[in-house]
Chain A
Amino acid sequence: MSIAEKMASNQKQIAISEFFEKNKHFLGFDTLNRAIITAVKEAVDNSLDACEEARILPDITIEIQRVPKSKDQLILIAKDNGPGIPQKSIENVFGKLLYGSRFHAIRQSRGQQGIGITGVVMYSQLTTGKQTYVKSKIASESSAVEVKLGIDTRKNKAVKYSQERVIWTEDEQIVEHGLFIRTQMKAKFQRGSQSIVQYLKMTSIVNPHANITFRYINSDGELEIENCWKRATLNLPTPVKAIKPHPHGIHLGQLQRMLKDSEERKLTSFLRQNFSGVSSRAAKEVCSKADLSEGAKPKLLKTEQVNSLLDACSEVKFLPPPTNCLSPIEDLLIKKGLSKTIDSKFVTTLTRNPRVASGNPYQIEVGLIFGGSMPSDQQVQLLRFANRVPLMYQQGGCLLTQAISSIDWRQYGLEQSGGKGVPKGPATILVHLASTNVQFTSEAKEAVASNDDVMQEIRKALLELGRNLRRHMKKKKKMAKAQEKFDLVNDILPAIAEKASSLLGKPVPELSSTISKIMNAVIMEQSTYWDKESKTVRVKGILYNYTSRPRSYTILMNWPEKQGAVMIDNERGGRKETIGLWAWKIETLQSGERAHIEFGLDNLEKGDWTETEVFYRGSAEVIGASKLDEKILEEMKNQNSDEVLETMEVITEEIDETISNVASRAMKNSTGDEIQKESFQTTLFDGEVDE
């Protein structure tokens, strides 16, 4: 049996087609703009889920065509390279509501309730009277099947209008497996924050393993928009296991259905077999709390007995459910996803450990991207996701938004009036909630419902990002100060010398001694950037000796050796200090001289490595680098862990500050008489002492 056939065989059915026809607004078809987004969303979610289950790297193409000479009619074409759907299952997948294996299994999945693509077929039929065209190819068959479908909403059944076997080729290649859908519907294509482009962009961030292409063709038949989000990783999301429900997360209806379907003879074995986290001791405890016999036949329980069983479940302690049913994106991939779609200077991401709330395993992932071309006078852009699905509506009423708003972002360097609400600044904040059971505020599944445990967990994750942002800003500020000095001695001072000399008709004086006096420091200037040409990360550092004496140092830089990066073009040589830390010895740097350290990092992608830490060994302080803590280095050599390097940064940062304070004081005190004292004061206030 092929994977596709296996998947299809799990499908069960529930009849509420008619209900849908009357309630299409619940399902995201209430406005013309929303209808097309919902349709795209259902198609893309299905493709991603199917590819994930079949372990295929997804290539998804979405095309929207404006139907010429029509009022608000669009054609949607969705194409994927997924496993396809076997011929006999097509009618059920596209024609029945709540049809899908996912509805009954407890694990993290995108669609979750299986109402999806059928709704699209139905909406299409209701608004245009047109059938939906489906082409499917599964790997085990040599030809593809072509079907035209409509839906009989009273019988909850698909009506097949034609069916043919065809050979499906794309670019003269026979398609191995995949699904092609074309449907026509009344809808409007829009741009902006609630648009297909935004939805697909967000989808691509949280599905870094997918290639997603979008095309919009206007009513003149011209290609007006084309976007392509390339995959940032070849690793598919970790396969998730379906788990049994946990007694703390069960609802009455579900429990009744499970009891009715049960084969077990004894209540205790029913509890142990059908739930996760139930030991035999716990099963007995439930029975005694519910005042039910351990040997009661599950099938025969009356409603009030089921109620007391449910109450008993909430009182008893159970083992937590397993968390391998979750598939987080992982922080590194979120970082990649964010960096490839948003131009910025700083990205920080975090994946928390899985946790359990009311018997449901869940996991929080967050990301924050800062700087670059994002506008600084507007609200931060929020990217909300539940189980890798972008949430685009009802931002205000969503738990994820509330968690972001509850944090005082001012302490971390963003603007926020009154210390609450969505902050302002050049940033984007991402929150992903992965769970076997995401509780939404409504059927439209656009806003996550309140939950204290989840809220606290998101807050913890965001606070950590905030601390990283603050550290980044602090570093930036320090570098900006050093940069000012550079501008001063490299640009302004030579200009002063040149102008003064030409006005007086005298030779330009030698400046090195003046420069040493002004700077009186050793400075490390360092930049890390992505080089498009060579597709490598470039790291450039220059060490300047702006003191009056010769200096010698060992300069060390961290690099992502563990992530598989390869160091290239390192002309200065040096040696490996430990994993992820390279060292260069600078023997003698004369007063006024500079030393260059440059290298490239191959085998990385854009956004993988954006900041390099610089450390030094030597007697005098280096502005722009941190003094290496030898004790921590020893530990690092033993453990070789990245976490240690992080602690080292925090500690050296403090030491760093103290030293630079002392140094700046020393610099100021090196001048003497009465006039000079004034100068010290005026320098503090930038020379202006006006009224």
Chain B
Amino acid sequence: MSRRREEGETKAALHQVVEEMYTKLEKGETPTMTLPVRTKLNIDFDKKLGVYKYGKKRSTRDASSLGSAKNLLRALHMVEFIDEMIDNGKSSTLREMYYISEGWGHGKFSTQNESNNLAEDLEIITTSMREDFRLRPEEDGSRIIGNLTINELNRRGEWMKINARDDVGDSGYGVPYNVEREKIELLDHDIDFIMAIETGGMFDRLIENGFDEEYRCGLVHLKGQPARSTRRILKRMNEEWNLPVVVFADGDPWSFRIFGSIAYGAIKTAHISEYLATPSATYLGVTADDIVAYDLPSDDLTSKDIEALKSELSDPRFADGYWQEQINTMLKLGKKAEQQSLAKYGLDFVTDTYLPEKLAELGLA
């Protein structure tokens, strides 16, 4: 199980990776790096934690092809780089590391995606978190609006009390990349639930319509597939404040995946699912049924959409009856709809009719 580690432990865990390669070389064999298979074929439900974690399947990346040999070399450079940062008390963004790799000779990254993926690989192998590696993403977190109060340690090292309704502008409270206790304290709230919203347009619509006050909720903008910090703060609010979380997204296969990563854990980050996933989160809509029930303007599914839906059918996270039915219904309909298609019935329809009806189904309104 992953947990935040002491510096010495992190270094030792990273050196295990180096040790594996060295031992192979010493024996005259091909150097390797062993890590969990990172596909849906290898995620299992952890009953104790209530989230999906990587299973027992291991894959070995060996130096027998140019691409994977380079990957091994990069991993070594990255270990060295992290070692140095730990020793010198520094930290860097993933992007900075990507640029620093310019000086790594044959171990240089050709895209930032490569460096991000490798950082994740090392997290998984060493069961550490990238914060232990002193690496941070530059992906910005989400925005929050609602009557809830947060204590944040600012740049001057002072704790700052922020109410996400009274102390913020229309854009809301910006969630920083680090939302752990050393940076963020959840102080107080006067709301009944949290609603996570996929698109900025819908987030702004609900604010303009005063939905957060009327229905006593906190609104969180997900910005598509949510960043780690967004998922982490959702989880903390769910656990520490004991608030239900509902997800309001577009009605398409990709929104299902967004929900999957919030509720059950993302496949890419299954090694830290217990930190990021909110198992009790519920999907509010737009559902496949809604498209029919509300007669929403819809688009035909593209071949990519259909492929994604079919892949979800065999995804263990969507194995329960509810999701199987939703996915099959959408496939049968051959249609998808955006959350903003609700505007067909006017700007207030979503707040006056749709959401109250949906929330009532869940017993939240």
- A interface residues with partner B (beta carbon < 8 Å): 484-485, 487-488, 491-493, 495-497, 499-501, 503-504, 506, 509-514, 517-518, 675-676, 678-679, 681-683, 686-691
Contact B21 A496 (CB under 8 A): yes
Q: List 16 A-B contacts (CB under 8 A).
A: A492-B106, A500-B76, A503-B76, A504-B19, A506-B22, A509-B22, A512-B28, A513-B29, A518-B30, A675-B34, A675-B58, A678-B57, A679-B59, A683-B65, A686-B65, A689-B39
In the bound complex, what is the Cα–Cα distance between A513 and B83 (angstroms)?
A: 30
- B31, B60, B117: the one within 8 Å of A496 (CB): B31
- Which chain B residues lie closer than 8 Å to A504 at the CB level? 15, 18-19, 22
Residues of A within 8 A of B105 (CB): 495
**B39 cross-chain contacts in A, Cβ below 8 A:** 689-691
Bound CA–CA A681/B34 (angstroms):
13
Which residue, B18, B38, B39, has most C-beta atoms of chain A within 10 A? B18
Expressed in whole angstroms, the Cα–Cα distance for A690 and B36 within the complex equals 11
Contacts of B169 in A (CB 8 A): none
Known: A496-B25, A514-B30. A690 touches B38 (CB 8 A): yes
With A503-B83, A675-B60, A683-B64 known, 15 other A-B pairs at CB within 8 A are A488-B63, A488-B69, A496-B72, A499-B77, A499-B80, A500-B76, A503-B18, A509-B22, A512-B28, A676-B60, A678-B37, A678-B58, A679-B62, A689-B37, A691-B39
Q: Which 8 A-B pairs have the closest CB atoms?
A: A513-B28, A687-B68, A679-B60, A686-B67, A499-B76, A484-B66, A687-B61, A678-B59
Query: Can you name the residue of chain B whose Cβ is closest to the Cβ of A519?
Result: B64
Name the residue on B nearest A518 (C-beta): B64
Are B58 and A496 in contact, with the CB atoms below 8 A? no
Within 8 A of A (CB), among B225-277: 267-268
**A506 surroundings in chain B (CB, below 8 A):** 22
Interface flag for B79 (CB, 8 Å) = yes
Chain A residues with Cβ below 8 Å from B163 are none
Q: Is the CB of B15 within 8 A of A503?
A: yes
Chain B nearest Cβ from A327, distance in angstroms: 51
B40 CB–A CB distance under 8 Å: yes
Q: In whole angstroms, how far apart are the Cα atoms of A678 and B42 in the complex?
A: 13
Known contacts A499-B77, A517-B30, A682-B59: A487-B25 contact under CB 8 Å: no
- Residues of B within 8 Å of A682, CB to CB, are 59-61, 68
CB distance from B31 to the nearest CB of A (A): 6
Indicate whether A496 sits within 8 Å of B73 (C-beta atoms), given known contacts A488-B63, A678-B37: yes
Q: Which of B57, B107, B268 meets A690, CB within 8 Å?
A: B268
Interface string of B44-82 (1 = CB under 8 A from A): 000000000000011111111111111111001101100
Interface: B32 (CB within 8 A) = yes
Tell whether B6 is near chain A: CB-to-CB under 8 Å: no
- Closest beta carbon of chain B to A12's beta carbon, Å: 71
By the criterion CB–CB under 8 Å, are B29 and A514 in contact?
yes
Tell me which residues across on chain A come within 8 A of B117, comparing CB atoms: 688, 690
Give B121 Cβ to nearest chain A Cβ, in Å: 9
Cβ of B11 to closest chain A Cβ, rounded Å: 10
- Residue B320 lies at the interface, judged by CB distance under 8 Å to chain A: no
Whole-angstrom distance between the alpha carbons of A510 and B27 in the complex?
9
Q: Is the CB of B34 within 8 A of A493?
A: no
B95-153: which have CB < 8 Å to A?
A: 105-107, 117
CA distance A503 to B73 in the complex (A): 12
Q: How far is the CA of A648 from the CA of B71 in the complex (A)?
A: 41
* List of A residues within 8 angstroms of B32 by Cβ: 679
A677: nearest chain-B partner, CB-CB: B60
A689 to B39, CA, bound (A): 7
Residues of chain A within 8 A of B68, CB atoms compared: 682-683, 686-687
Bound: A492/B267 CA distance, A:
30
Chain B residue at minimum C-beta to C-beta distance from A679? B60
Determine the residue in chain A with the shortest Cβ distance to B268: A691
A676 proximity list for chain B (CB < 8 A):
60
Complex-state Cα separation, A500 to B248, whole angstroms: 48
Within the complex, what minimum Cβ distance (angstroms) separates A194 from chain B?
41
- CA gap between A517 and B24 in the complex, in Å: 12
A509: chain B residues at CB < 8 Å are: 22, 25-26
B21 touches A500 (CB 8 A): yes
Cβ distance A89 to chain B, nearest Cβ, rounded Å: 70
Contacts of A518 in B (CB 8 A): 30, 63-64
Chain B residue with minimal CB distance to A491?
B106
Would B60 and A678 count as touching, CB distance under 8 A? Answer: yes
- Chain A residue numbers with a CB within 8 Å of B72 are 496
* Inter-chain contacts of B29 with A (CB < 8 A): 513-514, 517
Q: Which residues of B have CB within 8 Å of A675?
A: 34, 58, 60
Q: Knowing A500-B22, A503-B83, A682-B68 touch, does A492 contact B60 (C-beta < 8 A)? A: no
Bound-state Cα–Cα, A676 to B38, Å: 17
Contacts of B38 in A (CB 8 A): 689-691
Q: Which residues, 153 to 198 on B, are CB-close (under 8 Å) to A?
A: none
The docked-state distance in angstroms from the alpha carbon of A512 to that of B32 is: 17
Contact of B40 among A492, A496, A691 (CB under 8 A): A691
CB closest chain-B residue, reference A507: B26
Bound-complex Cα distance A511 to B30 (A): 10
Q: How far is it, in angstroms, between the C-alpha of A679 and the C-alpha of B267 when the chains are bound?
A: 20
Smallest CB-CB separation from A497: which chain B residue? Answer: B25
Which residues of chain B in 272-314 are interfacial with respect to chain A, using CB atoms and an 8 Å cutoff? none
Q: Chain B CB within 10 Å — which of A503, A510, A676, A690 has the most?
A: A503
Closest to B57 in A: A678
Q: Which residue of A lies closest to B41 (CB)?
A: A689
Q: Name B65's contact: one of A495, A499, A514, A687 (CB within 8 Å).
A: A687
- Given A488-B69, A503-B18, verify A496-B267 contact (CB < 8 Å): no
Residue of A nearest to B120 (CB): A690
Docked Cα-Cα span, A511 to B63, in Å, equals 13
A484 cross-chain contacts in B, Cβ below 8 A: 65-66
- A625 to B: closest C-beta gap in Å: 21
Chain A residues lying within 8 Å of B63, measured Cβ to Cβ, are 488, 492-493, 496, 518
Q: Do the beta carbons of B18 and A689 come within 8 Å of each other?
A: no
A492: nearest residue on chain B (CB-CB)? B69
Given A499-B80, A683-B64, A690-B117: A511 touches B25 (CB 8 Å cut-off): yes
Q: Which residue of B lies closest to A487 (CB)?
A: B66
Q: Tell me whether A488 and B66 are in contact in the complex, defined as CB-CB below 8 angstroms, given that A495-B107, A499-B76, A679-B60 are known contacts.
A: yes
- Measured between alpha carbons, how far is A514 from B29 in the docked complex, in Å? 5
Task: With CB as the reference atom, state the residue of chain B lying closest to A511.
Answer: B25
A485-B73 contact given A496-B21, A681-B59, CB 8 Å threshold: no
Measured CB to CB, the nearest residue on chain B to A503 is B18
- Contact in complex: B69, A691 (CB < 8 Å): no
Chain B residue nearest to A512 in the complex (CB): B28
Q: Which residues of B contact A517 (CB under 8 A)?
A: 28-30
> Cβ of B80: which chain A residues have Cβ within 8 Å of it?
499, 503
Nearest-CB distance from A639 to chain B (Å)?
A: 43
Give A668 Cβ to nearest chain B Cβ, in Å. Answer: 9
Residues of A within 8 A of B83 (CB): 503
Give the distance in Å from the alpha carbon of A689 to the alpha carbon of B33 in the complex: 13
